[in-house]
Amino acid sequence: MTVPGIDHPRLVAWMARNVPDAGEPLSVSLISGGRSNLTYLVEAAERRLVLRRPPLGHVLPTAHDMRREWRVISALAPTPVPVPEPVAFCSDEDVIGAPFYLMGHVPGDAVRTRDQLGDPAPEQTRRLSERLAEVLAAIHAVDYREVGLGDFGRPAGYMARQLDRWCQQWERSKTEDRPDYYRLVERLRERLPAEASGTLVHGDYRLDNTLVRRDDLEIMAVVDWEMSTLGDPLADLGLTLTYWADRGDEERASIPVSGDVTATPGFLNAAEFANYYTKVSGREISDLGFYVAFGNFKLAVIVEGIHARFRQGKTVGEGFDRIGAAVPTLISRAHRMLDQH
């Protein structure tokens, strides 16, 4: 069989040596791919596994570091944070052309849209949104030193480094000069919060980076840890709220990222979600407006990069012709958050 990114005979031989209890891999199929790491379902004789590897043709390995993802799910496996079971890591690029790891298959789906969710009762969707906050609080409550992640990042100066990083990304991908963008950067720099106590942060926490079991809407695992590090936990919360689509927020609905699942009847709205996170985490939320503004800034930079690739003819799929319009909207929303808070 031929699957892009997989050398099946070499994978069979490697698994025979390193994961003998799984049995021979009978089939491998791509679950998801794109700009992020590639995810495959491995149907082995004795169990189902999932394989993660970097994108094809990627030339900056540090941006899609398999060992980093492997390390964090291995560290979190014995904690209350739900993650897939870590099974085996391979650093030998001769096997499939890149480092990769295997994890246990999790019975659940990444849910982005209301249609995917089906027609659950409002109390079920409310509980799902509460669980999303509880799991985020659990991530931030992990004693990262105790689980072996003491050198996983540098909490001090995290927000200042994030601002610099995303400013650099903007300059690399901008399609036009936007005075409102540069004014936003100035305002964010002026409002940088005092140093927070560092925690493990996911870096891209939202519902569709979890796997949800359909029958009871339980969060079975948090996935896509490639941007995880040690930093300010409120940056995670701010980005989650940036992706949140409240019912009736037509402006937010016009931004084509992360779907509309949080607008399903029963879901907590963004303010309720933030309050519930405060309750279950016991964490003081100061200057939340800054963190949500920063989330909108970060997402504006990401969308500008996608728009730039579309203009260069480097994207595949539908809808990319409209995504550029979201950039000024996100910048405007960031300014509004700073004005209101």
Residue 323's pLDDT is 82
Question: For 244-287, where are the alpha helices, taking DSSP H only?
Answer: 250-253, 270-281
Residue ranges of domains in the chain: 8-104, 109-339
Please answer whether residues 187 and 335 qualify as being in contact, where contact means their C-beta atoms are separated by less than 8 angstroms: yes
Residue 319's pLDDT is 63
For the chain, give the number of residues: 341
Residue 61's pLDDT is 44
CATH of 109-339, one of 3.20.20.80, 3.40.390.10, 1.10.340.30, 3.90.1200.10: 3.90.1200.10
Superfamily of domain 8-104: Phosphorylase Kinase; domain 1 (3.30.200.20)
- Alpha carbon distance 94, 115 (integer Å): 42
Residue 11's pLDDT is 96
Structure tokens at 107: 């019975």
Structure tokens at 159: 């927000």
Residue 140's pLDDT is 98
> Could you tell me the CA-to-CA distances from 150 to 147, 202, 277, 282 in Å, in that order?
8, 15, 25, 23
Residue 316's pLDDT is 53
Mean pLDDT, the chain cut into blocks of 10 residues (341 residues total) = 86 96 92 74 95 72 73 97 97 93 95 89 96 98 97 94 96 93 98 89 95 94 94 96 93 84 94 97 92 97 86 65 87 96 83
Residue 309's pLDDT is 81
Q: DSSP characters for 168-229?
A: HHHHHH-SS--HHHHHHHHHHHHTPPPPPPPEEE-SS-SGGGEEEETTTTEEEEE---TT-E
